Structure 1
Amino acid sequence: MKILCWNTDEAVWQHWLKVVPKGAELVKVMNLEEAQQALSTSNQTFHYCFVFLADVTFSQQVEDVVLLRSQFASLKLLVFPNQASQQAALRMFSVGVNGQCAPYIGQEQLSLVISVIDSGEIWGGKAFIQQLISQSTEQLNEPSLDMSELSEREMDVVRLVASGLSNKQVAHEMAITERTVKAHLTSIYKKTDTGDRLTLALKAKSYLMVH
């Protein structure tokens, strides 16, 4: 596994070197331009991009992460903020960032985070994600959701996801398998041009409130 690490803090960098999964190859960059160049190089394929959000450049880096997500849609983006900001988290998750963790995350916890993201879920802590979904979508300035192409079953999945249920809970409510839920979600993401669970949930919540 190859990981691009945008990190200007030497102590955090040394910690990451110790806790990443065995066999992972880390490539360090210091700024947005270096990150873009590394990600654009055809002979390098990165499975993940870790971004340490430093206090001094926090707000600008949040916007840089949003830019990276728009430029490299398939890249798994994991951010490590050095300060708590629900607004920043909402901003990043709403555009498809895959997760956020503490900079000094433990080895076992990081392995769990990566496995959860690899399975197609978002990492941020269940309670935190539920809180984000429950918030109004007005501050996101996102276009309304087009659900005209969805089947009735897909609409049922959307409603349950928008209420904050996990794949396992959706499967239980609909009496189907988790694999079937994932298949429905893959189809839904494509038809609604959302791309990830949280974006779908936030937009769907807004849509369902007026329909």
Structure 2
Amino acid sequence: MSQIILVSESALFTKRFGTNLSDLGYSWIPFEQVEFHEKGKNDYIILVDIQSVPMTFRDLGEFLKEYPYPMLVLTPIPTFEEGYPLLRMGIKGYANLHLGSVNLENALSVLESGGSWFDPGFMNDLIRRIDYQGASQGMDGDLEKLSEREQEIGRYVAQGLSNYQIAQTIEITERTVKAHLLSCYKKLGLNDRVSLALWFKKRDHA
């Protein structure tokens, strides 16, 4: 299990997240207590309270170069304007500062496994705004590999709908939507929701 580095100038943030992390079984340490010689010797995940840390995007980029570990940036209100530049810098997670313990545990587990975890609202906004051009991963997949229902759900994902919205639209459960999405990823050789959205955007544009 990774050790968590908390980067914040808020005592309240450190206390709250420190307690949550301890309850989840994670060891953690404030950034100011990280010893220089320890860098590179441990598996770390960095949690950044971007609201309290006086860093510009450039500063954060330099920080990522010096500490090349999976980073989860927490913010009061996730937005495309803030999150997209962070994503381009290479952060692996972007979420609401007030996320609960269940989502925090899920996010950390995904980052530990090498994946990315983003606030659902930000993710759907990202899908609506990004362009298919330049996307290549899995673009040669065969549409016929997918069932009609999987194709329908994939196109809704490309429109930026959440799992809940898709479930309400086609009158199935969110669990069933998730199952169809996992099947789509497997059949098309994709890894995540954004890749699937790009796949359908490019496929339908061709």
Indicate whether 1:58 and 2:56 are aligned. Answer: yes
Provide TM-score, normalisation by structure 2: 0.62
Q: Which of 190, 193, 205 is the equivalent residue of 1:197? A: 193
Is residue 185 of structure 2 the alignment partner of residue 207 of structure 1?
no
Distance 1:128 1:207, change over 3 A: same
Does the aligned pair in 1 maintain the 2:78–2:122 contact within 8 Å? no
- In structure 1, stretches of 5+ residues that fail to align are none
Contact 1:163/1:205 (8 A) holds in 2: no
Q: Which runs of 5+ in 2 are unaligned?
A: none
Output the CA distance in 1 between the equivalents of 2:60 and 2:83: 9
Q: Deviations over 1:137-161 (max 9, x none)?
A: 38xxx73234113453458264343
Rate the CA distance shift 1:158–1:81 in 2: closer, same or farther, 3 A.
same
Helix, strand or coil: the match of 1:19? helix
Instruction: Assess, with a 3 A threshold, how the Cα gap between structure 1 residues 45 and 59 changes in structure 2: closer, same or farther.
Output: closer
Distance 1:177 1:83 in 2: 26
Query: Which consecutive aligned stretches of 4+ in structure 1 deviate over 6 angstroms post-superposition?
Result: none
Provide Cα deviations, 1:100-136, integer angstroms capped at 9, x if missing partner. 122xx3xxx4312125434788442x44432222114
Q: Which has the higher Rg, Structure 1 or Structure 2? A: 2
Alignment partner of 1:162 is 2:158? yes
TM-score between the two structures when normalised by the length of structure 1 = 0.60
Whether the 8 Å CA contact 1:62–1:88 is kept in 2: the answer is no
CA contact (8 A) 2:6 2:30 kept: yes
Does residue 78 of structure 1 match 2:69?
A: no
Partner of 2:184: 184
Counterpart secondary structure, 1:80: strand
Aligned-pair Cα RMSD in Å: 4.4
Shift of 1:51: 1.9
Counterparts of residues 6-17 of structure 1 (less than 5 Å)? 6-11=6-11, 12-17=13-18
1:145 aligns with 2:136: yes
Q: How many pairs align?
A: 186
Kindly state the Cα deviation for residue 165 of structure 1 after the two structures are TM-superposed: 4.0
Kept after mapping to 1: 8 A contact 2:131/2:198: yes
2:63, 2:163 → 1: CA distance?
Answer: 27
**Same amino acid, percent of matched pairs:** 12
After superposition, where does 1:1-150 map in structure 2 within 5 Å?
1-11=1-11, 12-22=13-23, 23-30=25-32, 38=39, 40-41=40-41, 44-46=42-44, 48-53=45-50, 54-64=52-62, 75=70, 77-81=71-75, 86-93=80-87, 97-102=92-97, 105=98, 109-117=99-107, 118=109, 122-124=117-119, 126-137=120-131, 143-146=134-137, 147-150=139-142
Letter paired with 1:196: D
User: Displacement of 1:30 after TM fit?
Assistant: 4.7
Matched residues in 1 for 2:61 and 2:163: separation?
Answer: 30
Whether contact under 8 Å (2:5, 2:29) holds in the other structure is yes
